[in-house]
Structure 1
Amino acid sequence: MDATTTTPGLYPLHRCKTLHLVCDLASIFSVTVQLVRHAQGVHNVAGEKNHDAYSSEDYFDAHLTPLGWEQVDNLRKHVKDTGLLNKVELVIVSPLLRTMQTAVGVFGGEGFKDGIDVPPLMVENAGESDRPAISSLNCPPFVAVELCREHLGVHPCDRRKSISEYRPVFPAIDFSLIENDEDVLWEANIREKNEEVAVRGMKFLNGLWTRKEREIAIVTHSGFLYHTLSAFGNDCHPSVKSEICNHFANCELRSVVIVDRCMMGSDPATTNYPGKIPSGLDLPSDVADEKLSEAK
Structure 2
Amino acid sequence: MDTGAGTALYPLHRCKTIYLVRHAQGVHNVEGHKDVRAYLSPALLDAQLTPLGWSQVDCLREHVTKCGLAKKIELVITSPLLRTMQTAVGVFGGGNYTDEVSGSPLMVEGAGHSGRQAISSLNCPPFLALEACRERLGVNPCDKRSSITKCRTLFPAIDFSLIENDEDVLWEPDVRETREAVAARGMKFIDWLWTREEKEIAIVSHWGFLRHTLNMYGKECHPTVAQELNKQFANCELRSMVLVDRRMLGSDTHTCNFPGMDVGEASKN
Common fold, TM-score beyond 0.5? Answer: yes
**Distance in 2 between residues matched to 1:177 and 1:268, nearest whole Å:** 28
Larger Rg: 1
Do structure 1's residue 87 and structure 2's residue 76 form an aligned pair?
no
**Which among 216, 229, 235 is matched to residue 201 of structure 2?**
216
Do structure 1's residue 62 and structure 2's residue 51 form an aligned pair?
no
* Bigger Cα displacement from structure 2, 219-228 vs 111-120: 111-120
Gaps of 5+ in 2: 1-5
Partner of 1:228: 213
Do structure 1's residue 31 and structure 2's residue 7 form an aligned pair?
no
Partner of 1:255: 240
Question: 1:194-213 alignment to 2 at 5 Å?
Answer: 194-213=179-198
Partner of 1:280: 266
**Distance in 1 between residues matched to 2:221 and 2:7, nearest whole Å:** 12
**Distance in 1 between residues matched to 2:98 and 2:7, nearest whole Å:** 40
Helix, strand or coil at the partner of 1:270: coil
**Which among 42, 52, 55 is matched to residue 37 of structure 2?**
52
* Bigger Cα displacement from structure 2, 60-69 vs 25-34: 25-34
**CA-to-partner distance for each residue in 1:99-121, whole Å, 9 max, x for gaps?**
00000000000111221121000
- Residues 203/26 of structure 1: CA separation in 2 closer, same or farther (3 Å cut): closer
Do structure 1's residue 137 and structure 2's residue 137 form an aligned pair?
no
Partner of 1:40: 25
**CA-to-partner distance for each residue in 1:258-293, whole Å, 9 max, x for gaps?**
1001111243433221112994059xxxxxxxxxxx
Gaps of 5+ in 1: 1-14, 20-24, 283-296
Deviation at 1:28, TM superposition (A): 5.5
Structure 1-normalised TM-score?
0.84
Do structure 1's residue 112 and structure 2's residue 112 form an aligned pair?
no
Extract structure 1 runs of 4+ deviating beyond 6 A. none
Give the aligned residue type for 2:67.
Answer: T
**Distance in 1 between residues matched to 2:221 and 2:192, nearest whole Å:** 24
- Residues 261/112 of structure 1: CA separation in 2 closer, same or farther (3 Å cut): same
Count of aligned positions: 262
**CA-to-partner distance for each residue in 1:87-110, whole Å, 9 max, x for gaps?**
000000000000000000000001
Give the aligned residue type for 2:20.
Answer: L
CA contact (8 A) 1:63 1:127 kept: yes
CA contact (8 A) 2:13 2:252 kept: no
**CA-to-partner distance for each residue in 1:62-82, whole Å, 9 max, x for gaps?**
000000000000000110111
- Residues 34/58 of structure 1: CA separation in 2 closer, same or farther (3 Å cut): same
Give the aligned residue type for 1:30.
Answer: C
**Distance in 1 between residues matched to 2:186 and 2:98, nearest whole Å:** 37
**Which among 187, 198, 201 is matched to residue 172 of structure 2?**
187
Deviation at 1:130, TM superposition (A): 1.1
Helix, strand or coil at the partner of 1:231: helix
Give the aligned residue type for 2:163.
Answer: I
**CA-to-partner distance for each residue in 1:150-186, whole Å, 9 max, x for gaps?**
0000000000011011101100000000011110100
Give the aligned residue type for 1:175.
Answer: F
Give the aligned residue type for 1:108.
Answer: G
CA contact (8 A) 1:37 1:221 kept: yes
Identity %: 62
CA contact (8 A) 1:209 1:266 kept: no
**Which among 132, 157, 163 is matched to residue 148 of structure 2?**
163
**CA-to-partner distance for each residue in 1:20-66, whole Å, 9 max, x for gaps?**
xxxxx946501100000000000000000000000110100000000
